[in-house]
Amino acid sequence: MNWFQKTVVALVCVLSTLSFGVAAVQAQGSETEDEAQTSLSLGQRLRGYILLDVEQNGEAWYIHPDTLRRRYLGRPADAFDVMRFKGLGITDADLARVPKATEDVDESYEQALRERLSGRILLQTEQNGEAWYVDPSNLRRYYLGRPVDAFAIMRERGLGITSDELREIGLEESRTPLNGVARHDSYTLGIDRGVFAIEVITIPNTTYRMITDTADEGDCGANCPAQSLASYAQEHGAQIGMTGTYFCEAGASECVGQENRFSSPVYNSTAQKLVHEGELDTHVGPMFVYDARGLFHFYHRASEFGSSLQEFVTREQSSVKAAIANYPSLMENGEIVVHDEPLDRGMRTHRLTRMGIGTTGNAIFLVLVRRATVRDLAYVFEALGADNALNLDGGASSALYFNNDYVYGPGRDLPNAVLFKRR
């Protein structure tokens, strides 16, 4: 067993036996932005920490600083994965600007760099990948070179947490298959427009069927019903889901008396009815349709779908199984089109959690991007290789569901949702 393997084994062993209080860290946490979700607030405050579930025999979790998700460290293989794929390479020169645990801190150490590296596992690229952990509580680095070092560090730096608190932090299931088919990836993507923390669910389009659902089967115009994304998924036995269209948010001054109302056409797969069918001719946005043959259709404008559900059926010689319209269009036929779409100022400039659905020839992408504009979202879809992509609701309504659990959310209750169920 080499030094790296010994370090990881020692790390897991220590984490399984220690428990420390997390309350002090919680007290230090600041308010998150309005659109942040409850499931992320604790993750934000504990980013980069190694946590021990004090009610589950000290089971260990690492909170990744970028995704704010917890990654299980229960077996040596799990810890190997974290250090191999989550470790950040660093030069000797940059590492020297982060103080060791035993060193006095003076102006020679760069505070901004220390803050950027908080909670990260660093691998010295010029020293055979020797590992260091930057403790978020003091921004000092701790050497993970030998089992005895790892044991001492985890004894001193580990934090205990209850099972209920731990469940508030979303799971990171990087490249985790669902029955060997669908996959959820959580990672940081660098493109010309910047670096973005993203969640991507990739669904082969031959093994899942799409479902769209509405809380009200009619064209509700005021005080409309809504429910959680998990409720929609459980009603249909769907393993995967995401937020649907824009809607009038409860509590917004302009939505008094119209809470949860939406005007975009959405097909209710259970009732086999196109809700807001009368909006097809006037809706200024694209429409995404899944038919009974298992084919996907992307229309630049909802009016191109037809003026009625029956018109589509007659033209395509196939019934509709799911459909959703929203705005704006992000990509069409492999080209970014968002710059030609009508965008309000918030879409152009506000960096919020953004969500969208896209397709390629053989897969569907459900995408969530943090701190992004709608235009940024289009470029993320381009980087993923999408042919067509539609923007959906985001911000405080953002919710993403995979393998029967939230990977982001739950967010607000929703008047409609997009689901996928294994065939």
CA 332 to chain centre: 23
What stretch of H or E contains 4?
helix 3-15
211-233 burial by CB neighbour count: b if 16+ within 10 A, else e? bbbbbbeebbeeebebbbbbbbb
In angstroms, the CA 31 to CA 388 distance is 37
Cis status of the peptide bond prior to 410, with omega within 30 of 0: yes
In this structure, the answer to whether residues 111 and 226 fall within a common structural domain is: no
Same domain, 157 and 193: no
| CA 104 – CA 124 distance, rounded (Å) | 22
- Whether 198 and 159 map to the same domain: the answer is no
> Between 102 and 274, where is the model more confident?
274
Mark whether 24 and 117 lie in a shared domain: yes
Q: Are 38 and 186 contained in the same domain?
A: no
Q: Quick check: 11 and 153 in contact, CB under 8 A?
A: no
Nearest to 326 by CA among 380, 377, 383, 363: 377
**Of 134, 167, 200, which residue is a domain's last?**
167
**159 with 201, same domain?**
no
Q: What single-letter DSSP state applies at residue 338? A: G
- Of 287 and 63, more confident: 287
Question: Token match 């607000």: residue?
Answer: 412
Tokens of 407: 């990977």
| Domain stop point among 167, 185, 211 | 167
Contact of 334 with 298, CB cutoff 8 Å: no
Of the chain, the end-to-end C-alpha distance in Å amounts to: 45
pLDDT for 133-190, tens place per residue? Answer: 899 989 999 887 665 565 556 667 778 999 888 878 877 654 444 445 898 988 777 7
Query: Residue 101: which pLDDT band, with cuts at 50, 70 and 90?
Result: confident
* Residues of the domain holding 317: 176-422
* Residue found by looking up tokens 């998150």 in the block: 32
User: Are residue 46 and residue 182 in the same domain, yes or no?
Assistant: no
Among 83-92, 200-209, 320-329, the range scoring the smallest mean pLDDT is 83-92
Distance (Å) of CA 170 to CA 70, 86, 229, 258, 369 = 6, 17, 15, 32, 15
- Determine the average pLDDT of the residues in 87-114: 86
Which residue, of 141, 167, 193, is where some domain finishes?
167
Residue 277 sits in the same domain as residue 307: yes
How far apart CA 26 and CA 326 sit, in angstroms, is: 38
Stretch 75-86: mean pLDDT: 56
| Number of domains forming the structure of the chain | 2
Contact 15, 144 (CB under 8 A): no
φ and ψ at 132, to 5 degrees?
-135, 150
Q: Are residues 246 and 378 in the same domain?
A: yes
Per the prediction, the chain carries an average pLDDT of: 83
Tens digits of residue pLDDT in 117-126: 999 988 888 8
Q: Which residue has the higher pLDDT, 29 or 64?
A: 64
| CB neighbourhood size of 100 (10 A) | 12
19 confidence band (pLDDT: 50, 70, 90): very low
Q: What is the pLDDT of residue 105?
A: 80
Q: Are residues 150 and 181 in the same domain?
A: no
Q: Are residues 199 and 343 in the same domain?
A: yes
Strands 273-275 and 287-291: unpaired
pLDDT at position 382 over 80: yes
Q: Are 155 and 197 contained in the same domain? A: no
Give, as one character, the DSSP assignment of residue 110.
-
